[in-house]
């Protein structure tokens, strides 16, 4: 069996159930402009293409869509609300931290590849005391491209200094499958995330929780942890 050298994770819906935090900041921004609040499910359904796009979708769902100039202006208000909230550490999905600790123990590198802006991602990781677990963090604005473009995943591989064939990607959405497989990295999809009809997305392996990660590695012919 092959030796695994790196695991690249998506963030929202994969490692972290961040919908409640995002909803709080989005609703505060919507309230600033006289819009109705979103439900938690509405926020989950809008997740996956970065915070700016998510906020644009929020405005479109609650009234007239906003112009590009308005989007960037309103987004600054969203970021202000988001950064001044204290995230709840319980948002990590069950088994996520244990898996990251096991990977570190096995000297397997850990990357983060999210469409959330890098500054917001790093701020959130610092709040949750998770930054030290990652060997490389790439947000949606770190490179010239972002998921579903495979260049986003390739940039993380380059940052980790590992080959695609020595890595796996763990995500929850169509964007994750397209970006990882496009870069030559096998994709493991979790079923607890925000993706829709995940069984039809073409992942290499699907798991119902992180306890099944070792079995997923075996199915991909990697040695277990």
Give one word for 7, left, alpha or beta, with left for phi > 0 and alpha for psi -120 to 50. Answer: beta
Residues in the chain: 225
The catalytic residue positions are 10
Single out the residue of 34, 17, 170, 27 nearest to residue 91, CA to CA: 17
Give one word for 48, left, alpha or beta, with left for phi > 0 and alpha for psi -120 to 50. Answer: left
């Amino acid at each position: 069996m092959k030796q695994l050298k790196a695991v690249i994770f998506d963030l929202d819906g994969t490692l972290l159930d961040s919908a409640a935090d995002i909803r709080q900041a989005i609703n505060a921004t919507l309230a600033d402009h006289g819009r109705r609040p979103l439900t938690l499910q509405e926020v989950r359904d809008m997740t996956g293409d970065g915070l700016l796009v998510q906020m644009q979708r929020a405005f479109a769902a609650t009234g007239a869509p906003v112009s590009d100039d308005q989007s960037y202006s309103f987004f600054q208000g969203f970021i202000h609300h988001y950064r001044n909230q204290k995230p709840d550490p319980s948002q990590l999905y069950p088994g996520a931290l244990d898996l990251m600790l096991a990977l570190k123990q096995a000297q397997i590198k850990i990357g983060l590849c999210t469409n959330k802006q890098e500054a917001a991602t790093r701020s959130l990781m610092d709040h949750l005391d998770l930054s030290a677990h990652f060997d490389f963090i790439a947000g949606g604005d770190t490179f010239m491209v972002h998921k579903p473009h495979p260049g986003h995943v390739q940039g993380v591989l380059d940052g980790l200094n590992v080959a695609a064939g020595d890595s796996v990607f763990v995500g929850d959405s169509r964007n994750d499958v397209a970006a990882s497989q496009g870069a030559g990295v096998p994709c493991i999809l979790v079923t607890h995330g925000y993706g829709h009809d995940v069984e039809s997305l073409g992942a290499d392996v699907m798991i119902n929780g992180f306890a099944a990660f070792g079995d997923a590695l075996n199915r991909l012919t990697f040695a277990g942890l």
